[in-house]
Chain A
Amino acid sequence: MKFGILVTEGPYQHQASDTAYQFTKAALEKGHEIFRVFFYNDGVNNGTRLMVPPQDDRNLQKNWTELAEEHQLDLVVCVAAAQRRGVLDASEAKRAGKDADNIAPGFRISGLGQLVEAGIIADRLMVFGD
């Protein structure tokens, strides 16, 4: 079965990203396909490679990046939500005249159309928010 995953909350403030990650991992272990993980609103903060949580805590960005590498997941960050919160890739940073970018490996920036497409193509769209 194809699953689409929507994450609307940032890391560490709420459990949504943790639950979404555990669900995604469990679905892959069961042989399901993850069509896309879409990060919206504060959820875009899961995609900054500059997070440095304590060593004995889970690193949510790293968890997502490693899962994406292992299973070729499509991790998409909403462009409008990302710009507001300072989550930028190289071309967005250049366009906005910023001196750095911070998008994490495995994540890409795109628009809401990607969420709509996930809703259409996936058999189930799982929403994780607060």
Chain B
Amino acid sequence: MSTLHTVSNSPFENNAFKSCLDHVTAGDTILLIEDSVVGARKAGSFGKEIGKALANCRVCALAPDLSARGIAADTVLDGIELVDYGGFVDLAAEHERTQAWL
């Protein structure tokens, strides 16, 4: 019974990403979209939390939203998978439900 969690707000703006991290369970996937992709940067301050989530979850980021914000793929935290919109659709289909953290 896995869930795809989508986060759209920047983690510097509100607690949506933090709440999401507190609720994910093993086998879930977190997909960072829109402004939330800024949290995926190596130089950011979420490496520890994302590393913890990666122990039993997948963490992905929407590649077009990274490039729209000038974030190069090689500056993204190790372990985060980059997906395009087709990959977003596949993730939604693979998981039994989706939860949008707004």
Residues in A lying within 8 Å of B, measured CB to CB: 1, 3, 8, 14-16, 19, 22-23, 25-27, 29-30, 32, 123-130
Contacts and interface: CB of A to CB of B under 8 A. Distances in A.
A80 to B, nearest CB: 20
Interface residues of B, number: 20
Contacts, number: 54
Sorted from nearest, which 3 A-B pairs have the closest CB atoms?
A26-B85, A127-B100, A15-B34
A32 B102 CA distance: 25
Contacts of A1: 93
Given A15-B34, A29-B86, A124 B93 contact: yes
Interface of B: 6, 8-9, 33-35, 64-65, 84-86, 88-90, 92-93, 97-98, 100, 102
25 contacts: A1-B93, A15-B8, A16-B34, A19-B8, A23-B89, A23-B92, A25-B85, A26-B84, A26-B85, A26-B88, A27-B89, A29-B86, A30-B86, A30-B90, A123-B93, A124-B92, A124-B97, A124-B98, A126-B92, A126-B98, A127-B100, A128-B8, A129-B100, A130-B8, A130-B102
Given A125-B98, A129-B8, 8 more contacts: A1-B93, A16-B34, A19-B8, A23-B88, A25-B85, A30-B90, A32-B89, A128-B8
Contacts of A127: 6, 98, 100, 102
A4 to B, nearest CB: 11
